[in-house]
Amino acid sequence: MKSYLTLSITCFISFTSLFGQMQIALTKNWFYTQADTIQWQACTIPGNTYTALLENQKIPNPFYGDNEKNIQWVSEKNWLFKTKFDIDSKYLKQDNIHLECPGLDTDCSLYLNNQYLGKANNAFRHWTIDVKQLLNVGENELLIQFNSASKLADSLYALLETKLPGEKRVVLRKPQFHFGWDFGPVLMSSGITDAIYLNAWNSVKLKASSIHTITANDTIAMLRLNLALFIQDTLSELDARLHMNGQILSFPIQKVYGQQQVSFDFTLENPKLWWPNGTGEQNLYPCKIEILKNETIIAEKSFKTGIRTITLIHEPDRFGKSFYFLINGKKIFCKGANYIPPDILYTQTLDPVSIIKTAVESNFNMLRIWGGGRYESDSFYQTCDENGILIWQDFMYACGMYPGDSSFLLNASIEAEEQVQRLSQFACIALWCGNNENNEGWHRWGWQFLISHENKERIWNDYQKLFNAILPNTVRKYSNLNSYWESSPLFGRGDDKFISEGDAHDWGLWHDEMPFEKLEDRIPRFMSEFGFQSLPPISTIKQFASENELDLDSHSLRNHQKHPRGNKLINQYINRDFPEAKNFESLIYLNQITQAEGICKIIRAHRKAKPYCMGSLYWQFNDCWPGISWSGRDYFGKWKALQHEVKNAFRPILFTANANEMDLTIHVVSDFLEPTNVELEILIQDFTGNVLKSEKWNGTIEENSSLELLKIPFNFKKLDIRETHYILLKWKYKNQWNSQCYFLDKFNKLKLNDPEIAIDTIEKTTNGFFITLKSKQLAKSVYIYEDATSSFFPNYFDLNPGEFKKIHCITNQNNLNNTDLKMISLFNFINN
Ligand code: BMA
């Protein structure tokens, strides 16, 4: 048992004083125990039942093998967490002391010094409790009892008059994927997901602050400062003072007791606007808000704000109804993917920088935060602001129908208020969306089967109350003028309108087993989901499976495939376009190439269809555990072939080639907001580099455009070259050369030769090596790897005959020999 002697020291290290608002973070000296067999053990907080048990070696790694199945008992139990902390008499003299709990997952009762404080029942809310009267000078104890999420969901669900689609998870305001999803395990953790702290304040509590852009152009911005205050002192003079861009602006605060939302309008001349990645700078203004009482600062907050306008344009046009974002008056094509929580055992301590870096490097400008997960941390959205990653933010409702009783709706409405208010300070928030696929599921997935007419009406009314009243009203009231979208998608693929109105999830690919090509012809106005599964790299698989389990049918592998038809579909799609996989490692390679080629083909079709189509977000960006899923970036941050290829498919200027019988069509897409000069080279050549035809084109590509640039007559019909030749496009813009190979036949038909890939040079860099490769013949989808945990950028690339390619190997190793490196390409699978 640890001694508490060091407590006062550790607690006061994390003491911060912000002009009257004095905070003590309660992140140290936490203990946990199962409630029915008291055995306190130390644990790290933020954390949860699973992380605490793991830390104490009470459970095996939940991600290894099928351990998941043996640790389900954890969610059947109630759990206690407690900490002790010291308070001095000075602190206790403050007028108000609040216990702030920004993340309690989920149903729990709180006790301070054995006195009941209250209950919390929503993992997405920030719980605040007045504790001044219960605190002691000296030692205090905070105890939180969490009820079993699984049992509580069962009992609440059993009380419902009508069973709801989505089943028991819908009754708890807890990340819905904890109950199991087709990309992850069932792990219904309970715990403290964000640091609890004490907050002492006098006269006024400054809860939240933000600056909203009302209108903006290059000469002037109309801005609105919003403050969420709790005012206790109605006698003194209260003022707010804003420091921004070298100016100090003061505003009087009306002296009204209680919770207040106050706003002040002001202007800023010659604003530097905030732009999404790839379209301009991410200008952010440092701001400081001070609250003054009789001219003395009593509270302050600092943050950064971006000035931009964002509107979703959904209006009738000659095709149906548009769906695009107008940002600072410009139409922006959204490029990105769907984001899920990056760890099912996630706490607020995760660093968002690396994941957002992947998005930026992949030429994304948007992530959709999917409704079955959780709202992200401030630092996540801050990182998106800094990097120009727009956020499509779902409210946390997915694939189900939700209760509509008054206590559920009240809980949901406070959650929405808090989250919208919190996130409205970030420039990146582009849209609030009610839910993921609830509307679609209700109307087209047979959810209404066996439900009486009367109950159907009630369930649908409840849906309307939440998604067409409470949530849009909250967005209107608190957001940074963001648009609200009831449900993603607007229409399911069963309805013809799914390609002519709103956003679409096209699961014709994968779930309906359609070929990738099919989606090149089914272009919606904005694709918010489409995807294909792949295995993660072998180094990731070895983290959860032993050497003798490296087989799709092993226990471990089967437990890491959560889609019932997943493995069958993976093989089926590989066999359509590629040769059959002969062993496990070739299966991983071919599966990843299938996913990369297929998804990027569709992305290119979406981009070519601009402005009819104005977004392409594939499913899914990342993983919540090391499993088989639709992701491009695995749980450990490793890039699959998809992530490398997506980076190419999302380049701001993209040329595509399409060979018909009698000609070659060259199409160009530009996402730049200014005209751009390019040099283009078009080659029709064989795999050894013998050129049949070459053309050059120099010119200016119009801003924000997509057009057919050239039609080059060429008799593909007569010449029998589809299996031996390919089209190589090379283009230069902003001093950078790019290239892309386009093939004339299915990959399993190509008559590839041994490319003879060779290492030309290896040079040491600060974080690894530069490796220059060359090959004699075309090497399709070169995968370079070695046994250690190094990463290679780019990887899975095409190497043209005679071309030198520089690869960055990021590694901790000091030496790298030619013999350590292995290179394979499609040739190894086709001709062997
Ligand atoms: C989408 C998502 C998820 C799911 C994915 C793959 O529709 O919204 O519900 O994981 O399909 O099946």
Per-residue pLDDT tens over the stretch 37-89: 999 999 999 999 999 999 999 999 999 999 999 999 999 999 999 999 999 99
* Ligand 1, atom 8: closest residue by C-alpha: 436
Distance 606 CA to ligand 1 centre (A): 20
Average pLDDT over residues 18-30: 84
Average pLDDT over residues 641-667: 97
Distance 271 CA to ligand 1 centre (A): 40
Distance 630 CA to ligand 1 centre (A): 9
Kindly state the tokens that stand for 763. Answer: 């040079």
63 Rama class: left (phi>0) / alpha (psi -120 to 50) / beta: alpha
Burial of 814 by CB count in 10 Å (0-12 exposed, 13-18 middle, 19+ buried)? exposed
Q: Which pLDDT does position 46 carry in this prediction?
A: 94
| C-alpha to C-alpha distance for 770 and 783, rounded to whole angstroms | 16
Q: Range with the lowest mean pLDDT among 133-137, 260-264, 347-351, 377-381?
A: 347-351
Strands 334-339 and 615-618: parallel
| C-alpha to C-alpha distance for 436 and 57, rounded to whole angstroms | 37
Positive or negative: CA dihedral 315, 317, 321, 322:
negative
Confidence of residue 348 (pLDDT cuts 50, 70, 90): low
Nearest to 502 by CA among 309, 705, 706, 313: 313
Positive or negative: CA dihedral 300, 305, 309, 310:
negative
Distance 180 CA to ligand 1 centre (A): 12
Is a pLDDT exceeding 60 seen at residue 1?
A: no
| C-alpha to C-alpha distance for 207 and 751, rounded to whole angstroms | 66
> Which residues' Cβ are closer than 6 Å to ligand 1?
181-183, 399, 436-437, 505, 529, 619
Distance 181 CA to ligand 1 centre (A): 8
Kindly state the tokens that stand for 649. Answer: 């498919």
Distance 276 CA to ligand 1 centre (A): 26
Percent of the chain at pLDDT exceeding 90: 92
Confidence of residue 347 (pLDDT cuts 50, 70, 90): low
Distance 103 CA to ligand 1 centre (A): 26
Per-residue pLDDT tens over the stretch 665-707: 999 999 999 999 999 999 999 999 999 999 999 999 999 999 9
| C-alpha to C-alpha distance for 129 and 127, rounded to whole angstroms | 7
Q: What totals of helices (H) and strands (E) does the chain contain, helices first?
A: 17, 46
| C-alpha to C-alpha distance for 657 and 652, rounded to whole angstroms | 17
Residue 578 contacts by C-beta under 8 Å, 6 or more apart in sequence?
590, 593, 594, 747, 748, 826, 829
Kindly state the tokens that stand for 432. Answer: 């609030």
Burial of 39 by CB count in 10 Å (0-12 exposed, 13-18 middle, 19+ buried)? exposed
Is a pLDDT exceeding 70 seen at residue 11?
A: no
Q: Which pLDDT does position 2 carry in this prediction?
A: 28
Q: Which pLDDT does position 831 carry in this prediction?
A: 55
Positive or negative: CA dihedral 60, 64, 70, 74:
positive
Q: Report DSSP state, residue 173.
A: B
Kindly state the tokens that stand for 615. Answer: 């977004």
Kindly state the tokens that stand for 421. Answer: 């208010």
Nearest to 122 by CA among 136, 112, 111, 108: 108
Q: Which pLDDT does position 482 carry in this prediction?
A: 87
| C-alpha to C-alpha distance for 262 and 253, rounded to whole angstroms | 8
Kindly state the tokens that stand for 544. Answer: 């959860």
Q: Which run of H or E residues covers position 736?
A: strand 736-743
Distance 302 CA to ligand 1 centre (A): 38
Ligand 1 pocket test target in 170, 179, 182 with most atoms within 8 Å of CB? 182
Distance 400 CA to ligand 1 centre (A): 12
Distance 62 CA to ligand 1 centre (A): 23
Distance 542 CA to ligand 1 centre (A): 26
Q: How far from the centroid of its chain's Cα atoms is residue 453's Cα?
A: 38
Per-residue pLDDT tens over the stretch 200-228: 999 999 999 999 999 999 999 999 999 99
Ligand 1 pocket test target in 176, 338, 369, 437 with most atoms within 8 Å of CB? 437
* Ligand 1, atom 10: closest residue by C-alpha: 182
Per-residue pLDDT tens over the stretch 547-590: 999 999 999 999 999 999 999 999 999 999 999 898 999 999 99
| C-alpha to C-alpha distance for 129 and 112, rounded to whole angstroms | 11
Kindly state the tokens that stand for 684. Answer: 């029709």
Q: Which pLDDT does position 255 carry in this prediction?
A: 86
Kindly state the tokens that stand for 441. Answer: 């599921």
Q: How high is the mean pLDDT of the chain?
A: 94
* Ligand 1, atom 6: closest residue by C-alpha: 182
Q: Report DSSP state, residue 702.
A: P
Q: Which pLDDT does position 462 carry in this prediction?
A: 98
Percent of the chain at pLDDT exceeding 70: 97
* Ligand 1, atom 9: closest residue by C-alpha: 399
Distance 338 CA to ligand 1 centre (A): 10
Ligand 1 pocket test target in 176, 527, 619 with most atoms within 8 Å of CB? 619
Token pair 């400062």 is found at 225
Atom of ligand 1 nearest to the CA of 511: 12
Per-residue pLDDT tens over the stretch 367-390: 999 999 999 999 999 999 999 999
Cβ neighbours around 161 below 10 Å, total: 10
Kindly state the tokens that stand for 183. Answer: 């990309």
Kindly state the tokens that stand for 519. Answer: 């989606």
| C-alpha to C-alpha distance for 709 and 682, rounded to whole angstroms | 12
Edge-to-edge strand list for the sheet holding 822-824: 797-799, 779-785, 822-824
Task: Identify whether 713 is preceded by a cis peptide bond (ω within 30 of 0).
Answer: no
Strand partners, 628: 561
Contact predicate 594/642, CB 8 Å: no
Average pLDDT over residues 773-783: 97
Token pair 């801003």 is found at 703
* Ligand 1, atom 4: closest residue by C-alpha: 182
Distance 665 CA to ligand 1 centre (A): 35
Kindly state the tokens that stand for 365. Answer: 């400008």
* Ligand 1, atom 1: closest residue by C-alpha: 529
| DSSP percent split of the chain into helix, strand, coil, nearest 5 | 25, 35, 40
| C-alpha to C-alpha distance for 184 and 818, rounded to whole angstroms | 38
Atom of ligand 1 nearest to the CA of 436: 8
Per-residue pLDDT tens over the stretch 98-132: 999 999 999 999 999 999 999 999 999 999 999 99
